[in-house]
Amino acid sequence: MPGELVEWAEVKLRVLHLEDNRDDVELVRRSLTRDGIGCDVHAVSTGPEYLAALQRSEFDLILSDSGVPGFDGQSAMAAAYDRFPGVPFIVVSGNPPPAGELGLQPAGSIAKTDLGALAPEVRRVLRNSSIPTEEPLTTAGADGMRQLVSVVQRLSLARNLQAVMDIVRRAARNLVNADGATFVLRDGDMCYYAEEDAIGPLWKGKRFPLTACISGWSMLNRQAAVIPDIYQDARIPHNAYRPTFVQALVMTPIRTIAPVGAIGVYWADNHQATAAEVDLLQALADSTSVAIESVDLLANLEERVHDRTQELFRRSAELEVLNRELEAFSYSVAHDLRSPLVTIDGFSRLLLENCGTQLDAEGHGHLERITGAAQRMHRLIDDLLELSKVVRAPMHHAAVDLSSLALEIAQGLRDAAPDRQAQIEVEPDLIVEGDAGLLRIVLENLLSNAWKFTSKIDAARIEFGTRPDRSGRTAYYVRDNGAGFDPRQAANLFSPFRRLHPESQFPGTGVGLATVQRIIHRHGGEITAEAAVDRGACFSFTLPTAGF
């Protein structure tokens, strides 16, 4: 298409290229010019250079490698969209990431091995974004509408006021083919000329009273000022205009109710703006006001999200400190309780041995209760210490043979009570990944509970095996046919000291299941219990890290 080639060659695209390989920069530039795309390429090879270039200059197109050392393509894209929401961003990389893998989407993506595809891709994305903005516009009719639609789209992507102003000052000028445009913000009773885009300097950075300039007039009167010759119009402070090129202008308020600013467009010759041009400018001003409002909302929202995140960080840090303190506290309490206990225990024994004869039966009974209680407290402290160790100990993952562990523990239980008739069945070859020491504590607790709570029945049966849980994952279970419990209590059993059976029938401290649950949680799993009174219990747990 020779016609199209000429058209594109005439437009010198301002290209920012992030690429740390000089040869690739050169290859890309050549492939663009060879395929008829005239361009000024500003190449940068690091993140800081790239960000500085974005701030300093304006571009029509941004090309980027998928990343340079210390700065990835996503950050490059985010910065580009933030600064120039309407400017297309194309990834040119050795290995273009598959679509959908990125958070932000580039306008296009090209492999370095396929640079022949670059120029067509550039044409395609530029056509879609209706840049170049230098494209001359002769009528404010259908073309103007087309441009306006694209400006509105770009405005909807703007994330801050600067981006809105950048889009609008260029769009205002191009929409009506003017020689300059300004973006004026209302600041109390002053007009602040915040941005401009013009053939010569205007008033960027200056402030004028609302009552002393035409932007103020259009805001106060909430209507556009259309002035074909400024030197014939009394509303214009002529002295302020003499140093400039301006001969004609249209000033449009942003928002007709309580205007927040105004958009000015200027011509170097006398120019009577048509009704269509004024309509287009008013439509642009209306879209600008929507964009400013959503930018405000966004800033507000981002601030709130930021505050909330900070708050969450602070709270979780506090919680962590609290948790650590609590663990240290329970550890030292348990630890310190031991020494007075040893004293109580030791002196009661001494009393029994040395003065036993002086005590009557009642006295003996009292002493026995004291030693019994002291021993129970010993067990409690041991269990509490184990519980706090389980939470604090570092984990060492390895393959663990649960079946062998269970058989070993079962043998230990049988050896300790050789008279008991109990059947213990263990599914073979259950190998998992986890901390061997901690998983041993799990099985010891579950199996010894099963052993304990079947002690009062004749044909005790205990089983360790696997079954799928509700979501199809492997669950490991320990089941028995013993005393069981009320299933409504199932969830409570995992809190320390919760016991459903009296100490006189089934001795224990009530810390075992709490320990078990913590270990399972540390492995990323869950543990649940099912039971019925006098019909046995079943504890089953998952181990998501167990990949064998």
Ligand X SMILES: Nc1ncnc2c1ncn2[C@@H]1O[C@H](COP(=O)(O)OP(=O)(O)O)[C@@H](O)[C@H]1O
Asked if residues 413 and 447 have their Cβ atoms less than 8 Å apart, the reply is yes
Binding to ligand X (CB under 6 A) within 503-522 occurs at 508-513
The alpha carbon torsion through 143, 144, 149, 151 (nearest 10 deg) reads 120
Helices 73-83/161-175 angle, 10° precision? 60
Regarding 445 and contact with ligand X (CB under 6 A), the answer is yes
Of these partners, Mg ion, ligand X, none, which one is at the site of residue 537 (CB under 5 to 8 Å by kind)?
Answer: ligand X
Beta carbon of residue 382, minimum distance to Mg ion (angstroms, whole number): 13
Beta carbon of residue 406, minimum distance to ligand X (angstroms, whole number): 15
- Indicate left, alpha or beta for 193 from its phi (over 0: left) and psi (-120 to 50: alpha): beta
Beta carbon of residue 445, minimum distance to Mg ion (angstroms, whole number): 5
Asked if residues 496 and 513 have their Cβ atoms less than 8 Å apart, the reply is no
Binds Mg ion by CB under 5 A, chosen from 73, 88, 261, 512: 512
Task: Return the closest-CA partner of residue 77 out of 118, 105, 108.
Answer: 105
Binds ligand X by CB under 6 A, chosen from 493, 519, 527, 546: 493
Of these partners, ligand X, Mg ion, none, which one is at the site of residue 484 (CB under 5 to 8 Å by kind)?
Answer: ligand X
Regarding 500 and contact with ligand X (CB under 6 A), the answer is yes
Beta carbon of residue 502, minimum distance to Mg ion (angstroms, whole number): 14
Beta carbon of residue 413, minimum distance to ligand X (angstroms, whole number): 13
Binds ligand X by CB under 6 A, chosen from 484, 525, 527, 543: 484
| DSSP secondary structure of 416-471 | H-TT--EEEEE-S--EEEEEHHHHHHHHHHHHHHHHHHTTTSSSEEEEEEEEE-TT
Regarding 499 and contact with ligand X (CB under 6 A), the answer is yes
- Indicate left, alpha or beta for 324 from its phi (over 0: left) and psi (-120 to 50: alpha): alpha
Angle at 545 between CA 435 and CA 541, to 5 degrees: 80
Closest CB to ligand X among residues 377, 500 = 500
Q: How does DSSP classify residue 116?
A: G
Residue where the block lists tokens 């016991």: 499
**529 strand-pairing partners:** 539
Binding to Mg ion (CB under 5 A) within 445-484 occurs at 449
Binds ligand X by CB under 6 A, chosen from 50, 241, 453, 464: 453
Of these partners, ligand X, Mg ion, none, which one is at the site of residue 525 (CB under 5 to 8 Å by kind)?
Answer: none
Q: Which residue is nearest to ligand X (CB)?
A: 508
The sign one gets for the Cα dihedral 300, 306, 307, 312 is: positive
Regarding 215 and contact with ligand X (CB under 6 A), the answer is no
Residue where the block lists tokens 């199209």: 4
Beta carbon of residue 299, minimum distance to Mg ion (angstroms, whole number): 57
Stretch that binds Mg ion, among 10-18, 158-166, 305-313, 443-451 (CB under 5 A): 443-451
Collapsing DSSP to helix, strand or coil, 477 comes out as: strand
Regarding 434 and contact with Mg ion (CB under 5 A), the answer is no
Regarding 485 and contact with ligand X (CB under 6 A), the answer is yes
Closest CB to ligand X among residues 90, 483 = 483
Element containing residue 253 per DSSP (H, E): strand 248-254
Beta carbon of residue 536, minimum distance to ligand X (angstroms, whole number): 7
Residue where the block lists tokens 């504590």: 441
- Judged by CB under 6 A, how many residues of this single chain contact ligand X? 21
Beta carbon of residue 528, minimum distance to Mg ion (angstroms, whole number): 17
Closest CB to ligand X among residues 153, 330 = 330
Residues in contact with Mg ion by the rule CB under 5 A: 449, 512
Residues in contact with ligand X by the rule CB under 6 A: 445, 449-450, 453, 480, 482-485, 493, 498-501, 508-513, 537
